[in-house]
Amino acid sequence: MLIRHRDHTPEVHPDAYVAPNATLVGDVRVGPHARVMYGAVLDAEGSRIEVGATAIVAEHAVLRATAVTGTDRPVLLGDHTFVGPHATVLGAEVGRCCYLAAQTTVLHGTVLGPGASVAVGALVHAGTELPGEFFVPPHTTAISSPVRVLTPDQRDEVPEAIRATRFSAQAFGVENDWQDRARRYAEATEVRSAEFAEHRHDIVK
């Protein structure tokens, strides 16, 4: 399904394939020989999404760009990149020949160098830069620049590392004390509610 949003209609190269129940919203450009599979959602919001040549967006993956913070955060997928089933990419740049396995998450402001690999269930947190060919093991958190990889047994280190990313500021433009979670989440949902309200004017093509 192609949906016109904020005066932009998705563009799909004639040699690409978009599954009939995939959803492309707004300024989305799908390159030659790219494949967007069943149930995937590519939502450009106020920014853009570019899917490179021969890139694969697998079943039920979610790619979402944003510009709510005043900083344009597109989703850019390089040529020959694979985004696995149920993966999520938010406002990030994924270089050519990268591999994002099933159920991975890549957050705002992240840059993945060519050939980087994120294994099953791993998280690449906001603002992180992965060097080319870097491997993030399954169910770990890659965070900061230079990148650190935190394993599930490092629970005491994860909260401080996430606080240092200023995720709410990067994703929503919300600045609050780290401990004031309820207020931060309330403000974040207000920001998203305003952003998503623009979908009331969408046109299905």
Task: Check: CB of residue 24 under 8 Å from CB of residue 18.
Answer: yes
Torsion angle of C-alpha atoms 16, 54, 100, 84, degrees rounded to 10: 40
Q: Which of these, 119, 113, 69, lies nearest to 91 by C-alpha position? A: 69
pLDDT recorded at residue 129? 97
pLDDT recorded at residue 157? 84
Q: Does the domain formed by 2-162 have CATH 2.160.10.10?
A: yes
Residues 6+ apart with CB under 8 A from 71: none
pLDDT recorded at residue 132? 96
Q: What is the mean pLDDT of each run of 10 residues along the chain (205 residues)?
A: 96 98 98 98 98 98 94 96 98 98 97 98 96 97 94 84 82 78 87 92 93
pLDDT recorded at residue 161? 83
pLDDT recorded at residue 205? 84
Domain ranges within the chain, ordered by starting residue: 2-162
From residue 162, give the alpha-carbon distance in Å to each of 42, 123, 134, 203.
Answer: 26, 11, 20, 38
pLDDT digits (tens, 9 = 90+) for 132-184: 999 999 999 999 999 999 998 887 888 788 888 888 888 888 887 767 788 88
